Structures are given as C-alpha cells and as structure tokens.
Amino acid sequence: MTGFSDSAQTMSLVAFTAVATLTLLLCVMTGPDNDDLDEFYTGYGSLSPLRNGLAIAGDYISAATVLGTSGVIALCGYDGVVLALSTALSLLLLMFLLAEPLRNAGRFTMGDAFARRMPGRTVRMAACGVTLAALLPLMLVQLAGTGQLLAFLLGFSGDSLKTACVLGLGALMISYAAIGGMKGTALIQILKIVMLLGSGAVVAVLILRRFDWNPGTLFDAAARQSGVGAAFLHSGMQFTGGAHPRLDMITSELTVVLGGGCLPHITMRMYTASGARQVRRSMSWAVSGVALFVLVITVVGFGATALIGRAAIAREDPQGNTAYLLGSRAAFGPDVSTAESLLFTTVTTAIFLTVLASVAGMILACANSLAHDVFAARAREMTPRREMLLARLFALAVGIPAVLLATQIQHRSLQPLVTLSFCLSASAIAPALVYGLFWRRYTRTGLLCTLIGGSLSVLLLMPGTNLVSGSPAAAFPEADFNWFPFTTTGLVTIPLGFALGWLGTVVSGRRQAQEQRRQYEAVEGWLLAGAVRRDE
C-alpha cells in the first residue's frame, strides 16, 4: 500500500521537469525591467484581489505546513487538527488586525513600516536582521526536506542523489527570486495553490467516499488503526512525556497563532495590494483558501491513519512527513487506474511546486530587506537600477549559503528550525508590529528592545528545549542538554517581547515619548483609515 509503481515514479519525474521548466519561463517572461523598483518589489500592485489572495495563501502554506501538519494529524490526531486550526487562525488574525495598517505604513519591506514613525538606519538594520533570522531556518527546512521528498517519491536512497536534488532545486529557487521578482513569484504561488487545493480536494472526496461520506466513521477508523484507541481523538498525544503537556500544547498553539501570519515573507505580500479595499478583499480570499486547505489535510491525515495505520506511517518517517502522500496514494485503493495515476502525479507535483515556491518567496523577502533596508537606505543617491541589481545579488548571497547548509542538516530532525522561526516571529516581530502600528508613545528604543531582545531570548532558550536534545525525535538525540521543559520558547519569550517594548519606551524618557506621539498622530489617519499612501 505504501509503495509507488514504476509508472507513477516516471510520471512524477516527467511532471517535475515540466513544471520546473514552465515556472522558470514564467519568471523570465514576467520579470521586471532593470530600473523599475515598484515592479520588482510589488508588481505595481497589479494583481486582482483574487490573484493576490491566492498568492498570499500560496506563500502562507509552505511545504513544512503541508507535510508537517498533515503528519502531526496522522500521528497525533486531535492535536494535529488543533495545530491546523491555529495555522488558519493566525492568518485570520493578520487579516483583521494588521493587514490594512501594514499596507498603509509600508512600501516594499517590513523595515519601511517601522521607519515611517522612526526613521533611521538602526531601525532598518534591526528589521533586516530579524527578517533573516526568522526566515533562514524555514528555508533550510524546505530545502533539506526536498531531497528526502524526492527520494521517497522516486525510489532512490543514496545520499549523493539527495544532495544533488537539494543543490539543483536550490539553484532553481534562487533563479525564481532573482529573475521574477514579486510578480513572478506570485504567479508561481498561484499555480501552486490551485494545484494543491484542487488535487487535495479530490483526494479528500475519494477518502470520504471510502467511508460512506461519514466523517465520524473516518475518525473512528483512524482511532482503531492508531494503536492508541480513543486517545487519538483527544488532546495530549503530541506532547506526551513532557513535564507540563497541557501547558506545552497551549504555548505551542499560541506561538503558531501569533507567529505564522507575521513572518516577513507573508507581511511583504500586503504591499502588492493597490489600496486598502484591495488588501481586505485579498486577505478574504487568502483566509478562505487556507481554511479549505485545513479541511483537506484533516481528511487526508485521518484517512492516511485509517487506511494505512499509524505504525506504517511512522515507519516511513517518524515525523510523519510522508503521511500526505501515503494518504493520497491509499485513497485510490488497490486497483489504480490511469486517471488515478494522473491525479496522484498532480498531488506529487503540487507538493514539489510548494517546495519551490515557498523557498523562492523567502529568498525574495530576505534579498529585498538587505538591498532596500540596509544598503539603499544608507546610500542617499542609489539609483533604482543599482538597487535592483543589489536585490538580485543578495538573492544569490542568501540562497547559496542556505542551500549548502541544507545539505549538511538533511539527516537531522528539522522540527527545531520550524519552531525557531515561529518563535522569533511571535516573540519579536508580532510585538513590534502591534506596538509600532497602534501605540502612540512607542519609541525607537522600545522598538529596538522588542526586536533585539525578543530575538535574543528565543535564541538563548531554544537550545534548551526537548526538540534539540534529550528525546529520540530531537535534532541531537544522542545528547542531552535539555533544561527548558517545553517544546517552544513562547511561554517566556512572547510576554518578554511585549514587556521589553514597553520597558524600552518607558526608559527612553518623556520627551522622546511625546515626540513619537506627535509623529504618530500626524500619520494616524492614513495609517489606520487607509488614506493616501505616501512614498519615501
């Protein structure tokens, strides 16, 4: 049941090659002119709300989300569903709280949004540093998982072949970011999300048909095949063995809710909307797409456990990252027709495209921040052509080390890197955005304390969690320097990030706070109500 036929492997390889060629051509055809910054950074805001919403959803649903979350559902049942719902809730929170002010405050990058109220190179450099720190771990996860994914699909096991896949696909992802800019990567995200949701919805329908269209029957069958009975449908499985499993679960979900929507490559997409009304409509489409995806992976994850068994999924990958593919394959039953083989090839191609598109968006966000926030902000007279050249060079400068690092960590557990990115976003970026967009007295000192202090607290606490050492599923299972009794750092670092922002503002003095208040009141109308957008 878990094997893949030679014909399915051949079809998948042909489809991967065709998709890689097509998407690269799309980037070349839609690439911006050499001196047009607005086109490179935002695509002129020319995407309709529907297309922009699909691009946001495509950026938001990474390969780690597709494979990792479906794996948690297949192995941990109820806890995985809560994780998937937290993922959707994070984007919903971004839509209602931050999307419009972000679009009004910024121009190209997250550093622009901060610099509106607090101009200065230090603020921009801090924003750039946090952008790199939050996105680099996620890039490594996507890249390192590429070799494992292709090895599983195409049936090879040699380490050299896996490394070659990482290197080759890494070069393709860097090309997307450097050549296509925002508009080119948006088209890839749209193609990816349409294929992912379309093929996933068909697989979910096939699974429900196997269980007489009754979700209750599906859940009961999954519980029986899980080996743990009714516990599969109750909370607690994912964090069993920890010192405080219930508190650990709450903290982990809070980190996802606050961190997921604030990741820089997601907030960057707000600037592609041409107005406040467009960003609201775009986010409505994005939330709808993510909600549909949550339903799909819930059915596919439970279907994988019900049809294959939890033990068989764990044998293929202890983290469950192959559960989505195994569930899709099992949905067809023992006799697979040509049409079903084509559908399964579509599913695998959508996963492949998800990896490519996710990393391309992250590389673009990092390169844009380096070029625009660090170097262009320093040089008063930098021409648009030179800034765009810098952004493309930084796509190489960020992408090449990420690819090389990914080849070195591909045999380790990657969950600590995913958790690190979300913790950095929830503990540093989220407090900075909330304070910077809504608190009138917030000062430059408070902002720097939030960004730097929140990030450092995460980096100090993360090595002590059980994801890094002290458990069989840790990145270093042979070692044990686990001293922080939780899976994520959010219990400490999220409130600390907000507290540091408040404390930095208080200690910066009344005069600076009053000055910042006056500056905020001068722009409050267009910032919150969507008045005319100002350029730098």
| Residue with the two structure tokens 């490179």 | 40
How far, in Å, CA of 117 to CA of 442, rounded?
A: 9
How far, in Å, CA of 359 to CA of 475, rounded?
A: 22
Judge whether 293 and 273 are in contact, CB under 8 Å.
no
- DSSP, collapsed to helix, strand or coil, labels residue 11 as helix
Question: What mean pLDDT is reported for the chain?
Answer: 83
- Find, among 328, 304, 360, 313, the residue nearest to 184 by Cα: 360
- Find, among 291, 281, 230, 262, the residue nearest to 84 by Cα: 291
| Residue with the two structure tokens 């980037």 | 27
How far, in Å, CA of 97 to CA of 526, rounded?
A: 15
The tokens of 313 are what? 């999924």
How far, in Å, CA of 485 to CA of 101, rounded?
A: 37
What is the per-residue pLDDT for 522? 67
How far, in Å, CA of 240 to CA of 459, rounded?
A: 25
Nearby residues of 100 by Cβ (< 8 Å), 6 or more positions away? 276, 279, 280, 528, 530
What is the per-residue pLDDT for 338? 65
Q: Tell me, what amino acid is at 124?
A: R
Judge whether 356 and 195 are in contact, CB under 8 Å.
no
Nearby residues of 137 by Cβ (< 8 Å), 6 or more positions away? 417, 418, 420, 421
| Residue with the two structure tokens 């960590």 | 409
What is the per-residue pLDDT for 536? 40
| Cα first-last separation, the chain | 58
Q: What is the pTM of this model?
A: 0.89
How far, in Å, CA of 440 to CA of 216, rounded?
A: 50
User: Would you kindly state where each structural domain of the chain is located, as residue ranges?
Assistant: 6-413
- Find, among 101, 98, 106, 119, the residue nearest to 41 by Cα: 106
How far, in Å, CA of 147 to CA of 157, rounded?
A: 10
How far, in Å, CA of 287 to CA of 262, rounded?
A: 14
Q: Give pLDDT tens digits for 380-399.
A: 667 777 888 888 888 899 98
How far, in Å, CA of 439 to CA of 520, rounded?
A: 8
How far, in Å, CA of 186 to CA of 175, rounded?
A: 14
Q: What is the mean pLDDT of residues 140-158?
A: 75
What is the per-residue pLDDT for 534? 42
pLDDT band at 1 (very low <50, low <70, confident <90, very high): very low
| C-alpha count within 13 angstroms, C-beta hemisphere, residue 432 | 36
How far, in Å, CA of 39 to CA of 42, rounded?
A: 6
Distance of CA 448 to the CA centre of its chain: 24
Q: What is the mean pLDDT of residues 62-91?
A: 89
pLDDT at 260 over 80: yes
User: In Å, how far are 57, 71, 146, 202 from 162, measured between CA atoms?
Assistant: 29, 21, 8, 30
Judge whether 53 and 280 are in contact, CB under 8 Å.
no
Cβ neighbours around 506 below 10 Å, total: 14
Q: What is the mean pLDDT of residues 200-222?
A: 92
Quote the percentage of the chain above a pLDDT of 70.
88
What are the beta bridge partners of residue 476? 469
pLDDT at 521 over 80: no
Residues in the chain: 536
Least confident of 164-173, 493-502, 520-529: 520-529
What is the per-residue pLDDT for 533? 43
pLDDT at 340 over 70: no
Cβ neighbours around 383 below 10 Å, total: 12
DSSP 469: B
- Find, among 144, 174, 138, the residue nearest to 396 by Cα: 174
Judge whether 327 and 304 are in contact, CB under 8 Å.
yes
Nearby residues of 309 by Cβ (< 8 Å), 6 or more positions away? 225, 226, 227
How far, in Å, CA of 284 to CA of 489, rounded?
A: 31
- Find, among 54, 62, 16, the residue nearest to 186 by Cα: 54
pLDDT at 45 over 60: no
Q: What is the mean pLDDT of residues 217-228?
A: 91
Backbone angles phi, psi at 34, to 5 degrees: -70, -15
Q: What is the CATH number of domain 6-413?
A: 1.20.1740
pLDDT band at 365 (very low <50, low <70, confident <90, very high): confident
What is the per-residue pLDDT for 528? 65
Cβ neighbours around 213 below 10 Å, total: 10
Alpha-carbon torsion (451, 457, 463, 467), positive or negative: negative
User: In Å, how far are 117, 136, 447 from 111, measured between CA atoms?
Assistant: 11, 17, 11
Nearby residues of 400 by Cβ (< 8 Å), 6 or more positions away? 170, 174
How far, in Å, CA of 498 to CA of 446, rounded?
A: 10
